[in-house]
Amino acid sequence: MSSWERFTDTFLNGKVMLRYLPDILSGVVVTIELALLIVVTGIAAGLTLALLRSLAIRPLNWLIVFVVDLFRSLPPLVIIVLIYFGLPSVDLSPSGFASTWLSLAFVLMAFSEEIFWAGITSVARGQWEAARSTGLSFGQTLMHVVLPQALRLTIPPLTNRTIAITKGTALGTVVAVTEILGQASSAMSNSYNPSPLMMGAAAYVVLFFPVVVAGRFIETRFAWKR
Amino acid sequence: METLIQTFFNPGIIIAAWPIVLAGLRNTVLLSLLVVPLGLLGGLILALLASVKSPAVRWPLMVWVDFFRAFPPLVLLVLLFAGLPFAGLELGGFVCVAVAFFLNTGAYYGEILRAGIDSVAAGQVEAARSTGLSRLQAMAYVVLPQAVRNVLPDLLSNTLEVVKLTSLGSVVAVPELLYQARQAQSITYNPTPIVVAAVIYFAMLWPVVRLLSRLENRALAGR
């Protein structure tokens, strides 16, 4: 056997790949589900916090800033481990899926709150005053004047951050979530062959590479024109 | 309340686990001191390559950077740690972390530094070159200092992410903070050590987050 054949036989073994393809595919489904859940709930929670912060209730804002800082400074894996291994001690046993979802959604919430808040504060004070003086209510000013301008500004950083955090779904494998990496790892130990891992790696590239390229496009499309 | 404290902030366990967790903290600091410069080096190489305006360099570079932005660092780490031994190459957890971070965080640092270099006006290079500085000298003494200053908040923000990311080392048995805390947890059957680790991460990184928040707000106010 030539060394090239030995290499492909080890890392790109057709028989092993075919056998574990269904496992990897089911992992892809779990990864996509998890990612969508994180993105939707994380961004919605972040926007809600930013809107609450714009009400300028002091004690509430301190709380919001603290929560945001907390989830910006803790490593996501630490949060996942804390929820998954910590909560059972008080008779709450979230699944690995729920732990990963909650943790990464909290992290995305924190980062997106910062980004939304930066967007809201970037809209000049005079705009608020002008809108309010035309008779719009606080809520109407926020909805029709401030947010449309603020959101445009937030799109590039939000896209980048969302991609970075969604990639973190792979961390779920540490708490036994059957996403791509988890499936690939167990297939590798079952077959004693790294081909499933290569398949898993390829699945991540297929899944996330287009998103990164689209993110690059969005970044230039919505770039702040000076 | 009593049981809550006994479970998550158990004083006896804090004292017992402290040496174990502290050893982890030391390794996390050492690991960060290794991987941050390594990532910066990788980023600098990429950014300097990107300043060559030839499409033959630019396109492969963009694909390289986007590839590592798309690829989860944990997958990269597992690939190096569990995949390479099949090719007869056993690197050990520590080296795997170093290589994975060089590749992954290098791509992020590279993007930031590239943006910084682009932000320095072309006239600056021309002026520097016309005073007789070589291309390399112009880059090192004129462009880079300004470039780094322009993207300092982004560099700091990425460094924060890199330090947080060292917790992935726990997956490949590098005895850093999270790994040590989990060891202590499995010995004591109590999640207190993990809470302690979380508190240490927070105490260590909160000042950085505060600083970043200020820098970001100032950048926005400057528009």
- Which ipTM score applies to this complex? 0.90
**Cα–Cα nearest to B49, from B114, B112, B102:** B114
- CATH code for the domain in which residue B39 is found: 1.10.3720.10
User: What are the tens digits of pLDDT across the range A87-134?
Assistant: 888 888 899 999 999 999 999 999 999 999 989 988 888 998 999 999
Give yes or no for residue A1 having a pLDDT over 80. Answer: no
Other beta carbons less than 10 A from residue B134's beta carbon: 10
What is the nearest CA distance from A209 to chain B, expressed in angstroms? 5
Q: What per-residue confidence (pLDDT) applies to A225?
A: 54
Q: What per-residue confidence (pLDDT) applies to A224?
A: 58
Which DSSP letter does residue B120 get?
A: S
Q: What per-residue confidence (pLDDT) applies to B105?
A: 94
Give yes or no for residue B136 having a pLDDT over 50. Answer: yes
In chain B, residues 38-57 whose CB comes closer than 8 Å to chain A: none
Work out the pLDDT band at B221, boundaries 50, 70, 90.
low
Q: How many domains does chain B have?
A: 1
The H helix count followed by the E strand count for chain A is 10, 0
**Cα–Cα nearest to A168, from A107, A86, A93:** A107
Q: What per-residue confidence (pLDDT) applies to B55?
A: 87
Work out the pLDDT band at A223, boundaries 50, 70, 90.
low
First and final CA of chain A: distance in angstroms?
62
User: What are the tens digits of pLDDT across the range B61-112?
Assistant: 989 999 998 999 999 999 999 999 988 888 889 999 999 999 999 999 999 9
Phi, psi of A176 (to 5 degrees): 65, 30
What is the C-alpha to C-alpha distance for residues B140 and A209, in angstroms, rounded to an integer? 33
- Residues in B closer than 8 angstroms to A180, CB to CB, are 75
What is the C-alpha to C-alpha distance for residues A166 and A34, in angstroms, rounded to an integer? 9
Domain around B55: 2-221
Q: Which domains does chain A have, with CATH numbers?
A: 23-182 (1.10.3720.10)
A164 and B161 in contact by Cβ < 8 A?
A: yes
Mean of pLDDT values over B190-215: 94
pTM, full prediction: 0.91
Q: What per-residue confidence (pLDDT) applies to A215?
A: 87
User: What are the tens digits of pLDDT across the range A3-57?
Assistant: 888 888 888 888 889 999 999 999 999 999 999 999 999 999 999 999 999 998 9
Q: Which residue of B has its CA nearest to A114?
A: B213
Asked if B105 reaches chain A (Cβ–Cβ under 8 Å), the answer is: no
Q: What per-residue confidence (pLDDT) applies to A226?
A: 42
Asked if B206 reaches chain A (Cβ–Cβ under 8 Å), the answer is: yes
Q: What is the mean pLDDT of chain B?
A: 91
- Nearest residue, CB atoms, B198 vs list A82, A204, A208: A82
